């Protein structure tokens, strides 16, 4: 795996992922260079992110009564290995950082041979849908992060 | 132009289009067969449809106070000529039929050489966003259709 | 199920589907009207079409030595019931017609409650990638169609 | 403009962009949260990147006789201000770094009011399409970068 700025200890980093979804590269996601187009990983990241948030009860389909939604503050992706039509991918997600009004998620995409194809990260900010102001993140995120850290410590 | 079921008189049909938008085929809209992917025309149709509705004052960005939205009842596309990356296209729209709760739009896509690349059509139904029941279409659609017919008659 | 031009006997038509794939509506496939965008069904149709062709050994990833590819001649979709984020859909495909250089596929999309959400059809033409001329369709298509017909007859 | 890691001097950085393309947010690019979906900026970045490379004669539509293609090594985007349907955006690109086998492009997206909505960057590597090995980048990139630097110095 090539060096990326948001990963200090690659071996440890790779082991910390425990949640993933499976996806298959669609024909419509390829481009005329014959591989998966470079805009597609962010679709996979979003799909895995939402499934992860659902799994820890932290995803609200609609702005809840308090009227808050999660929005992307930033997103990044490193392309380690080319991906092709019909490749079956595992898209893994974990929480990397938790603040008061935002949190960071990290992403890892492997192919069926177990090769690292993509890595990524992004910050999510919880905002009030009307005012656009940052507000407290769902407590389920904090709980899931604490659980993740305690498991990692063994 | 090959024969399509929704066009009786091709020469007349082609002449009736007076509104169009210009678009350029994005790299991300190609696929590994080296041409524009077959799912893309419907994106162009939607873009042209909305610009057309805006031009006749019949597009509401958000469900208006009466809470109605236009939804697709059906859509079809005929592929006459292959389209490639970077092709500059004109996407034309016209009203073909107007009913009480629905209307038909027809589509024509030509490349810079003036060759017919795509034709299409689709019915739009105006519905009450909450109940999902069909309701009267905006009167601007009826007016635009009457105007179109009177212009065609000369 | 509302009446559509390409279905004569709805009950019989619905029963003839034996192949399907499962998909889940992505967040990025919704639009600001709060439902699945109307351009998305054609992505699902393509995904199911390719899986179907693979299942009968009639899909070549790359133009084979004889240099032929399948291209869409036309596509159409009827929207029967609104589809929302996170809906789990079954996307079924069957062969409806087989000619010398083209064939028709029909599509049926149901939600988890078994309700018909989308129906569709489209003609595929087999062409020589270089000349663009129609050529004989893969014999696997003809065989699969004959098999389908004989099964339907019981 | 909020602080981002790849911009040292925001005022200077903003001034260095001289190339941009115009785009309008499509309805199909929104999501059920009512704004542009977070996967869309990368489509705009690619569109602007290719137009930029074409403008300096450094884009080959097809792998040239020497068989090389540019591929994304990484991509990142910071979301500064929400973007909505029908927003008209200017998507600017500049070269930020030039190496032997790769180069960095920076991106800036503003709305019609001139507000910074998105910033981004990404490294492009020139590779041999068959072996996948990095090779020398087109000399047009180096020339354009030198020109850009000399202009900036005044």
Separation of alpha carbons C87 and C26, rounded Å: 9
pLDDT one-digit tens code per residue, B34-93: 999 999 999 999 999 999 999 999 887 554 556 788 999 999 999 999 999 999 999 999
pTM of the complete model beyond 0.90: yes
Separation of alpha carbons C49 and C91, rounded Å: 9
Distance of CA D96 to the CA centre of its chain: 10
Q: Which chain C residues contact residue D39 at CB under 8 A?
A: 28
Which residues, 6 or more positions from D43, have their beta carbon under 8 angstroms from its beta carbon? Answer: A39, B26, B28, D29
Angle at D145 between CA D143 and CA D148, to 5 degrees: 110
Which tokens sit at D30? Answer: 């929104």
Ordered per-residue pLDDT tens for chain D, 154 residues: 899 999 999 999 999 999 999 999 999 999 999 999 999 999 999 999 999 999 999 887 554 556 788 999 999 999 999 999 999 999 999 999 999 999 999 999 999 999 999 999 999 999 988 888 999 999 999 999 999 888 877 6
- Among D4, D14, D7, smallest CA distance to D108 is for D14
- Scan for tokens 């006749």, then name that residue: B56
Q: A108: left (phi > 0), else alpha (psi -120 to 50), else beta?
A: beta
Q: Average pLDDT of each block of 10 consecutive residues along chain A (154 residues)?
A: 95 96 98 96 98 91 68 97 97 97 98 98 92 92 91 76
pLDDT one-digit tens code per residue, C116-127: 999 999 999 999
Question: What are the distances in angstroms from CA A69 to CA A62, A76, B82, C19?
Answer: 8, 21, 42, 39
Question: What are the distances in angstroms from CA B75 to CA A55, B18, C78, C90, C135?
Answer: 36, 21, 7, 20, 28
Contact A32 B34 (CB under 8 A): yes
Minimum Cα–Cα distance from C35: chain D residue: D32
Q: Where are the alpha helices (DSSP H) in chain C?
A: 10-15, 41-55, 139-153
Contact C85 D32 (CB under 8 A): yes
Contact D32 C32 (CB under 8 A): yes
| Percent residues over pLDDT 90 in chain C | 82
- Among B114, B112, B103, B119, smallest CA distance to B45 is for B119
Q: What φ, ψ does residue C117 adopt, rounded to 5°?
A: -100, -40
Provide the 8-state DSSP code for B123: E
- Of C27, C29, C32, C82, which to mutate for an interface test with D (greatest number of D Cβ within 10 Å)? C32
Whether the CB of B1 is below 8 Å from some CB of chain C: the reply is no
Residue A139, H or E segment:
helix A139-153
Minimum Cα–Cα distance from B42: chain D residue: D28
Contact between C132 and C69 (Cβ < 8 Å): no
The more confident residue out of C40 and B130 is C40
Comparing CB atoms, the residue among B26, B46, B47 nearest residue D43 is B26
pLDDT of residue D132: 85
For residue A80, count other CB atoms closer than 10 A to its CB: 19
Which tokens sit at A104? Answer: 């960071």
Separation of alpha carbons D7 and D16, rounded Å: 12
- Scan for tokens 């709805």, then name that residue: C10
Which tokens sit at A52? Answer: 């992860």
pLDDT of residue C65: 59
Torsion of CA A29, A31, A34, A37, to 10 degrees: -60
The secondary structure of D44-77 as a DSSP string is HHHHHHHHHHHHTT---SS--TT-EEEEEEEEEE
DSSP helix/strand/coil, B38: coil
Comparing CB atoms, the residue among A27, A46, A47 nearest residue C50 is A27
């Amino acid at each position: 795996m090539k060096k990326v700025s948001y990963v200090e200890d690659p071996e440890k980093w790779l082991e910390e992922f425990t949640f993933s979804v499976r996806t298959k590269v669609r024909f419509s996601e390829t481009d005329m260079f014959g591989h998966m187009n470079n805009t597609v990983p962010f679709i996979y990241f979003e799909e895995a992110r939402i499934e992860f948030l659902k799994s820890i009860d932290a995803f609200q389909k609609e702005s809840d009564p308090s009227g808050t939604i999660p929005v992307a503050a930033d997103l990044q992706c490193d392309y380690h290995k080319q991906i092709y039509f019909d490749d079956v991918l595992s898209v893994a997600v974990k929480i990397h950082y938790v603040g008061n009004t935002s949190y960071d998620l990290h992403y890892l995409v492997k192919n069926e041979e177990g090769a690292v194809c993509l890595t990524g990260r992004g910050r999510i900010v919880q905002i009030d849908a009307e005012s656009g102001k940052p507000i407290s993140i769902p407590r389920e995120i904090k709980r899931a992060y604490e659980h993740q850290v305690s498991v990692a410590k063994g």
